[in-house]
């Protein structure tokens, strides 16, 4: 066992990752998050753009210093998993965000990263911790640090040549790898995501007012929708700012089977969704990210949509 692997180990890491369906992987040195990023996040919270997601206003000490998640952690490994679907819903169906088409990414990404983490520990030792939305991490910040991509004006992580339909997961490790460098540059700032956003949630400085975003309203927000909310045809999440982005023009369908939607899912129509009962909801979404909205939230959304004939085609 060697707690200070030589630089060549990052190449080995990429080899290990390719067998796990990982589309991009990189490593960054763990150190406190840059002050400018911390300040910007504090301002965003301060003006209430996180809506009711109070968990985003907790654990700031950990968010600003991931070493608190794993004492002695030296490296954060960031991995990206493609979820762009090969088949999509009909345009006249209530739309689910692509990321929710298949099996819950928390399960799929966690299982694969645990396998990678076990491989790393057996080869080089050290201690590690897998995070898949399970810890307060600025994951896109770390993905940039690890040289995987850039952050677009729509706040999504964009992988050059591949687009933004990717889940991110992280492994913190006490091992020291050779670290990757940020790619640099910006997304091109074409502004299409801003014009396309049905909620007017994206600012020209690249900040997103989550409290207006349809992803937040349809998934995270509990209770009656705020007065004047217009979900269009979005029943769970929203991909409009990604669909508008030219970086996604050449997105390739995922080859991760678990993210492939079932026929039953693709056939869901507005009447079926409006009349879901708990048994059907559980059968359909037990292993799906959609369960986060709960039956009550999905029914609320489905019943807020106008009839399919009136759906806004965006």
Provide, rounded to whole angstroms, the least separation between the CB of residue 46 and ligand SF4: 20
Site string for ligand SF4, 31-60 (x = CB under 6 A): ------------------------------
Closer Cβ to ligand SF4, 144 or 187, answer by number: 187
Exactly one of 33, 80, 171, 214 binds ligand SF4 (CB under 6 A); that residue is: 214
Nearer to ligand SF4, 84 or 124 (CB): 84
Q: Give me the sign of the Cα torsion angle 4, 37, 71, 69.
A: negative
Q: Assess contact for 76 and 171: CB atoms under 8 A.
A: yes
Q: Which is nearer to ligand SF4, 26 or 232 (CB)?
A: 232
Positive/negative CA dihedral, 41, 43, 48, 54: positive
Beta carbon of residue 247, minimum distance to ligand SF4 (angstroms, whole number): 6
Dist. CA 150–CA 232, nearest whole Å: 29
**Is residue 244 within the footprint of ligand SF4 (CB under 6 A)?**
yes
- The vertex-293 CA angle with 77 and 24, nearest 5°, equals 20
| Residue nearest to ligand SF4 according to CB distances in the complex | 152
Is residue 305 part of the contact set for ligand SF4 (CB under 6 A)? no
What is the closest distance, in whole angstroms, from the C-beta atom of residue 158 to ligand SF4 in the complex? 7
| Contact flag: residue 251 with ligand SF4 (CB under 6 A) | no
Per CB under 6 A, the segment of 115-123, 173-181, 221-229, 245-253 that binds ligand SF4 is 245-253
d(CA 195, CA 187): 16
Q: What residues form DSSP beta bridges with 150?
A: 158
Active-site annotation, residues = 133
Least gap, CB of 204 to ligand SF4 (angstroms): 9
Figure out which of the listed residues 24, 135, 202, 231 binds ligand SF4, where binding follows CB under 6 A: 202
Distance CA 251, CA 217 (A): 27
The two structure tokens encoding residue 52: 């009711």
Sites for ligand SF4 among residues 176-195 (CB under 6 A) = 187-193
Residues 6+ apart with CB under 8 A from 227: none
* Number of other residues whose CB lies within 10 A of the CB of residue 155: 17
Which residue's structure tokens are 């026929």? 263
State which of residues 33, 199, 284, 289 lies at the interface with ligand SF4 (CB under 6 A). 199
The total of other beta-carbon atoms located within 10 Å of residue 12's CB is 15
Q: Which is nearer to ligand SF4, 73 or 157 (CB)?
A: 157
Count of C-beta atoms within a 10 Å radius of residue 196: 16
**41 vs 216, beta carbon nearer ligand SF4:** 216
d(CA 26, CA 76): 8
| 213 makes contact with ligand SF4 (CB under 6 A) | yes
Cα–Cα distance between 283 and 287 in angstroms, integer? 9
Query: How far is CA 237 from each of CA 6, 68, 98, 209, rounded to the nearest angstrom?
Result: 43, 32, 9, 15
Q: Does residue 170 interact with ligand SF4 by CB under 6 A?
A: no
φ/ψ of 130, rounded to 5, equals -95, 135
Contact status: 148 vs ligand SF4 (CB under 6 A): no
Kindly state the smallest distance separating residue 306's Cβ from ligand SF4, in Å: 17
245 binding ligand SF4? (CB under 6 A): yes
Residues within the interface to ligand SF4 (CB under 6 A):
152-154, 187-193, 197-199, 201-202, 208, 213-215, 238, 240-241, 244-247
């Amino acid at each position: 066992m060697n707690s200070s692997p030589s630089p060549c180990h990052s190449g080995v890491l990429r080899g290990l990752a390719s067998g796990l369906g990982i589309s991009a992987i990189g490593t960054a040195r763990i150190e406190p998050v840059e002050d400018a990023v911390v300040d910007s996040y504090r301002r965003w919270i301060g003006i209430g753009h996180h809506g009711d997601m109070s968990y985003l206003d907790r654990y700031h000490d950990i968010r600003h210093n991931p070493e608190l998640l794993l004492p002695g952690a030296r490296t954060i490994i960031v991995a990206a998993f493609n979820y762009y679907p090969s088949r999509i819903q009909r345009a006249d169906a209530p739309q689910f965000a692509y990321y929710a088409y298949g099996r819950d990414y928390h399960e799929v990404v966690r299982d694969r990263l645990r396998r990678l983490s076990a491989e790393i520990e057996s080869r080089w030792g050290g201690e590690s911790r897998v995070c898949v939305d399970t810890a307060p991490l600025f994951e896109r910040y770390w993905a940039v640090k690890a040289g995987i991509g850039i952050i677009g004006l729509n706040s999504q992580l964009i992988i050059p040549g591949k687009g933004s339909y990717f889940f991110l997961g992280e492994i913190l490790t006490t091992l020291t790898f050779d670290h990757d460098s940020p790619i640099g540059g910006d997304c091109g700032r074409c502004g299409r995501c801003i014009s396309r956003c049905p909620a007017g949630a994206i600012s020209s400085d690249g900040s997103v007012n989550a409290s207006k975003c349809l992803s937040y309203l349809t998934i995270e927000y509990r209770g009656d929708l705020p007065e004047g909310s217009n979900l269009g045809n979005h029943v769970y999440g929203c991909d409009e700012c990604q669909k508008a982005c030219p970086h996604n023009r050449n997105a390739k369908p995922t080859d991760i089977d678990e993210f492939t939607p079932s026929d039953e899912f693709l056939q869901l129509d507005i009447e079926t969704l409006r009349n879901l009962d708990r048994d059907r909801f559980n059968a359909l979404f037990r292993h799906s990210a959609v369960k986060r909205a709960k039956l009550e939230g999905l029914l609320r959304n489905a019943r807020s949509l106008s009839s399919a004939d009136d759906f806004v085609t965006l």
